[in-house]
Amino acid sequence: MGGMLRAAGYSVELAADGEAGLRSQRARPFDIVITDIFMPNQDGIETIARLREEYPALKLVAISGGGSHTKGDGYLFTAREIGANAVLTKPFEQEELLEVVRALH
């Protein structure tokens, strides 16, 4: 995903989990944060909630394969309810990702 965005001309910084992503956002704020729902240490739902609380104007995108279609959809619904501006279900096509980023940028 990072490679797709870089190839499209975007500056990208990667984080291993939600905690690392929050540290990066605090050190150098981003325009858009894309977070997976399932991550070690701090999941995407908690990450979205904390980012929304600290950065109300930040654009947030949640992605998930969810393990099962129904379960993943539920988590993405929750992500949107707590503040994600957009959601993508994995697997997604490069153009789908770029459309979401362009719309939010």
Read off the DSSP letter of residue 84.
Answer: -
- For residue 72, name the pLDDT band (cuts at 50, 70, 90): low
Distances (CA, A) of 88 to 24, 26, 53, 66, 85: 22, 25, 22, 11, 11
* Superfamily name and number for 2-104: Response regulator (3.40.50.2300)
Distance CA 105, CA 101 (A): 6
- For residue 45, name the pLDDT band (cuts at 50, 70, 90): very high
Residue 93 has pLDDT above 80, yes or no: yes
**What is the average pLDDT value for the chain, to the nearest integer?**
92
User: Could you state, in order of their start, the residue ranges of all structural domains in the chain?
Assistant: 2-104
φ/ψ of residue 87, rounded to 5: -135, 150
Tokens matching residue 102: 């362009």
95 touches 77 (CB < 8 A): no
pTM above 0.85, yes or no: yes
